[in-house]
Amino acid sequence: MASNALKRIYFASDFHLGIPDSASSFEREKRIVRWLNQIQDTCEELFILGDIFDFWFEYDLVVPKGFIRLQAKIAEFTDAGIPVHFFCGNHDLWQFGYFEKELGVQVHHKPIERKLGSKLFYIGHGDGLGPGQTKFKLVLAVYRNYFFQRLFAFLHPSIGMGFANWLSHRSKLKTFDGNFTFYDEKEHLIQHCRMLIKEGSTCSYFVFGHRHLPMIFDLNETQKYVNLGDWIGYNTYAVYDGNTLSIETFESN
């Protein structure tokens, strides 16, 4: 095991397991597990920032099949005393206790602030943050509504999950080509960071997924917006040594 001086905190997001097809998703899952194997000895804490699955819904007695290797590896982390945080994304927000109970992870439904090493962090998936996005925020409100969640749960899992997976496979991510556009100061998440800073936030790093564009963007001399990218086209993650955060790539495509 690595000494405490060599311990690191890791961040990753947007695996979107399940698309575009079973075979490529399975290869992506195995790649993610290889990455987790590589970092395990140096990992002090792991933050997974949402959209790990392209669709996930927990029924009372049923969860989606598949992705067992990733779940087993996460359980191995928590069994070894490594804290694992799972932030719900807009594709996998229907978490109702399975991951806490079976895998020992800490599930977050909203962004959090955490002091890590010498810096204060603001951490979240990033969906629905910032100004505008009226239609998207309306859809999120429906997804997060208890009544609509229970209504969906009345559907037989084969019907409900089948319909959701059909929608998932129509996603633009199915034909991902890495052609996401960065809008600089018009980015909703950058505008959200600006708002938090204006309100007095002293966070050094604002870390998100959701936008699929790996970057560290200077908000000012001391505060940075960080996007983790994804594992469909980039295989990127962030690593923090207690003072400095950097974006790294695992097995470049």
**What is the model's pLDDT at position 179?**
67
223 CB-near residues (< 8 Å, 6+ apart) = 193, 197, 201, 203, 204, 205, 206
Which one is predicted more confidently, 135 or 61? Answer: 135
pLDDT digits (tens, 9 = 90+) for 90-136: 877 777 788 999 999 999 999 999 999 999 999 999 887 888 878 87
CB 58 within 8 A of CB 22: no
> How far apart are alpha carbons 105 and 148 in whole angstroms?
26
Domain interval for residue 222: 4-249
> What are the backbone dihedrals phi and psi of residue 228, each rounded to the nearest 5 degrees, phi first?
-85, -10
**What is the model's pLDDT at position 210?**
92
172 pLDDT above the threshold of 60: no
**What is the model's pLDDT at position 3?**
47
CB 55 within 8 A of CB 93: no
pLDDT digits (tens, 9 = 90+) for 17-33: 988 888 999 999 999 99
Cut 0.75: pTM above it: yes
**What is the model's pLDDT at position 169?**
62
Number of domains in the chain: 1
Q: 37-51 burial string, b = 16+ CB within 10 Å, else e?
A: eebbebbbbbbbbbb
Looking up residue 33, the CATH number of its domain turns out to be: 3.60.21.10
Give the pLDDT band (50/70/90) at residue 4. Answer: low
> How far apart are alpha carbons 129 and 188 in whole angstroms?
7
